[in-house]
Amino acid sequence: MSENTPQRPDGLNDAAGAQQPRVQVEPTPAQPAPAQNPGYTAPGRTYVNQAPAGQAYAGQTSAGPVPPTGAAVPGAAAVTETRTVVKTRTKKFPVFLSSLAGLAVGAVLVIALVMTGALDIDRGGSVTATNPDSTSQTIDINPEDTTLSEVVAQKALPSVVSISTEIDTTSSLAGDSGASSGNIGSGVILDTDGNILTNYHVIQNASAIAVTLDDGTSYEAELVGTDESSDLAVIRLVNADSSALTPIEVGDSDNLSVGEWVMAIGSPFGNEQSVSTGIVSALYRSTALQSTSGTSIYANMIQTDAAINPGNSGGALVNDQGQLIGINSVIESYSGSSSGVGFAIPVNYAKNIADQIIAGKTPVHPYLGLTLTSVNALNARQNNLAVDSGAYVNEVTAGGPSEQAGIQQGDIITALDGEQITSADGLIIAVREHEVGDEVTLTVVRDGSEQEIKVTLGSDEALQAEQQDATQGDSSGSGLSEEDFMRYLQELMGQGGSGA
């Protein structure tokens, strides 16, 4: 992965050699000394060539600056300019009367604006400015807005926790064997049963999970379930006091607007219960990230400029009502730290996945029943393909939605519902933006000609079950064959094609 692509802030690692954050303080610029020339003006001061009454200064000729007084200028007559400073005495006109007159004039103007309808002030504390050539805009004035961040933080902080994990690296998937390291992330309390929503990559391969609440109380937590492809997981506190838990209020991420105020809450760099504010920078951002456990699909994400750093993963993105609207998950940065481009999984999607996990169900996603490869200019030329971008169909799952619709091996999918598809990941993301049961129209290039095929999206529950069986199989010959096991393992690991 290149350093300028979106990446998951995986949290802090206690392993030796981990890079530590740096803090830089820029020096305050020195104030330049004022130039001693006529007419120079500095902030708050004006410098002029001024002489006491009766004292003369040498002037200037058209040839340039005049030498000191008494020096001759060849070929030019000396010009002498006399400046006299006259001190005047300020009349003591009553300031009160002048201020009163100004207030009276201002009041008359406001009354005139109200009577003409140019300024409409209602009783609810809002001001409506109108313009004959444009629509009206209502601006609500609320004195509490001056402490908005404090109010929202006070409401939401008790619902956000810090998560630390121990990772048993003896697992072949975890890295070097025999060592143990810890990661730090964040999570959000969903209910008084102690269920906490977080990112999958926060607790991935964890052998032990500890959770610290806002009041400093620590609990052990157990894993309830995960949805790796969505990078979401649910953990549950062990023997937690339900009266000490504050479930977060859940908002509606479908009603967000660009420019809306938001606050990110979490444990950046291990600094627990930290808040940062910003706005919704954009909506419907999507990407796919590869990891050792497969491909994570981030669809319709919320982009924000609120600072999100390693350790914020799994934490809350809340609105100005303190309601949860997203789970902070991804940053886009050259350095791996905040660059003002962070992304959160919308709460409507995340909460739906969490509810399925808590209910003991396997989270399901829309499914085409295809194994795909990205088409690019190189493989298009090598294989004499009709197009140089799109998603090439390697295999069609028997009985799946695509086979039922008529998709064939060798087809190249170039659009979904009219939106261009340039890669296999692009098609997976586009499908994930829909729901199980939705009908979509695929634009397919077959034998050099283009056609449109309607497909009703199915559920990937069966595929997930097969992949789980494959990863849990043994070498005794039971379950899938070795060939099938390797095929599903490659698909799970993001090699040799991506499943949709």
Catalytic residue among 214, 227, 231, 460: 231
Q: Of 320, 339, 358, which residue is a domain's last?
A: 358
Q: Could you tell me the two tokens for 123? A: 């009783």
The arithmetic mean of pLDDT across residues 333-350, rounded, is 88
What DSSP string describes 189-201? E-STT-EEEE-HH
Residue type for position 465: A
pLDDT per position as a tens digit, 236-258: 999 999 999 999 999 999 999 99
Count of beta carbons in the 10 Å neighbourhood of residue 47: 14
Both 341 and 476 in a single domain? Answer: no
**Under 8 Å between Cβ of 49 and 83:** yes
Report yes or no on 59 lying in a domain: no
Q: How confident is the model at residue 71 (pLDDT cuts 50, 70, 90)?
A: very low
The pLDDT, as a whole number, for residue 286 is 82
The pLDDT, as a whole number, for residue 46 is 37
CA neighbor of 386 nearest in space, from 411, 403, 408, 423: 411
Count of beta carbons in the 10 Å neighbourhood of residue 172: 7
Report yes or no on 82 lying in a domain: no
Report yes or no on 88 lying in a domain: no
Q: How confident is the model at residue 480 (pLDDT cuts 50, 70, 90)?
A: very low
The arithmetic mean of pLDDT across residues 340-367, rounded, is 93
The arithmetic mean of pLDDT across residues 460-479, rounded, is 58
* DSSP H helices in 383-479: 401-405, 424-432, 461-471
Residue type for position 315: G
pLDDT averaged over every residue in the chain:
74
Q: CA-to-CA distance for 210 and 231, rounded, in angstroms?
A: 19
Concerning whether 201 is annotated as a catalytic residue, the answer is yes
CA distances from 133 to 115, 129, 355 (A): 19, 12, 50
Q: Of 333, 358, 383, which residue is a domain's last?
A: 358
Considering only 83-97, 261-275, 365-379, which range has the smallest mean pLDDT?
Answer: 83-97
Per-residue pLDDT at 414 exceeds 90: yes
Both 105 and 156 in a single domain? Answer: no
Q: What is the CATH number of the domain that holds 402?
A: 2.30.42.10
Q: CA-to-CA distance for 116 and 122, rounded, in angstroms?
A: 15
Q: CA-to-CA distance for 416 and 394, rounded, in angstroms?
A: 18
Both 236 and 267 in a single domain? Answer: yes
Report for 285-299, 324-338, 383-397: range of highest mean pLDDT: 383-397
Report yes or no on 491 lying in a domain: yes
CA neighbor of 209 nearest in space, from 11, 7, 360: 11
**Under 8 Å between Cβ of 424 and 498:** yes
SS3 assignment, position 382: helix
CA distances from 204 to 164, 223, 344, 369, 408 (A): 11, 10, 19, 27, 37
Structural domain harbouring 302: 151-358
Both 354 and 425 in a single domain? Answer: no
pLDDT per position as a tens digit, 11-67: 554 444 444 443 333 333 444 444 444 444 444 443 334 444 444 434 443 444 444
The pLDDT, as a whole number, for residue 350 is 95
Report yes or no on 115 lying in a domain: yes
The pLDDT, as a whole number, for residue 478 is 36
The pLDDT, as a whole number, for residue 154 is 93
Task: Please give the residue that has the higher pLDDT: either 263 or 36.
Answer: 263
Both 326 and 189 in a single domain? Answer: yes
Both 178 and 218 in a single domain? Answer: yes
The pLDDT, as a whole number, for residue 147 is 80
- Residue 370 pairs in a beta bridge with 396
Q: How confident is the model at residue 337 (pLDDT cuts 50, 70, 90)?
A: confident
Per-residue pLDDT at 73 exceeds 90: no
Q: How confident is the model at residue 183 (pLDDT cuts 50, 70, 90)?
A: confident
Q: CA-to-CA distance for 292 and 185, rounded, in angstroms?
A: 19
Q: Of 358, 381, 415, which residue is a domain's last?
A: 358
Q: Could you tell me the two tokens for 96? A: 């009160």
Count of beta carbons in the 10 Å neighbourhood of residue 341: 17
The pLDDT, as a whole number, for residue 152 is 94
Catalytic residue among 10, 186, 201, 338: 201
Residue type for position 61: T
Both 243 and 192 in a single domain? Answer: yes
Report yes or no on 50 lying in a domain: no
Considering only 54-63, 95-104, 176-185, 286-295, which range has the smallest mean pLDDT?
Answer: 54-63
Both 118 and 248 in a single domain? Answer: no
Q: How confident is the model at residue 289 (pLDDT cuts 50, 70, 90)?
A: confident
Both 406 and 269 in a single domain? Answer: no
The arithmetic mean of pLDDT across residues 267-289, rounded, is 91
Q: How confident is the model at residue 287 (pLDDT cuts 50, 70, 90)?
A: confident
Catalytic residue among 313, 333, 402, 423: 313
Per-residue pLDDT at 202 exceeds 90: yes
CA neighbor of 284 nearest in space, from 233, 229, 326: 326
Concerning whether 230 is annotated as a catalytic residue, the answer is no
Per-residue pLDDT at 182 exceeds 80: no
What DSSP string describes 227-289? EGGGTEEEEEESS--GGG--PPPB--GGG--TT-EEEEEE-GGG--SEEEEEEEEEEEEEEEE
The pLDDT, as a whole number, for residue 141 is 42
The pLDDT, as a whole number, for residue 87 is 35
Both 410 and 297 in a single domain? Answer: no
- In the chain, how many domains are there? 3
- Residue 393 pairs in a beta bridge with 372
Q: CA-to-CA distance for 403 and 414, rounded, in angstroms?
A: 18
The arithmetic mean of pLDDT across residues 374-391, rounded, is 92
Both 293 and 194 in a single domain? Answer: yes
Report yes or no on 479 lying in a domain: yes
Report yes or no on 74 lying in a domain: no
Token pair 């499908």 is found at 431
Q: What is the CATH number of the domain that holds 336?
A: 2.40.10.120
Output the pTM of the full model: 0.62
Note the Cα 466 to chain centre separation in Å.
34
Both 177 and 311 in a single domain? Answer: yes
Report for 101-115, 185-199, 469-483: range of highest mean pLDDT: 185-199
Concerning whether 449 is annotated as a catalytic residue, the answer is no
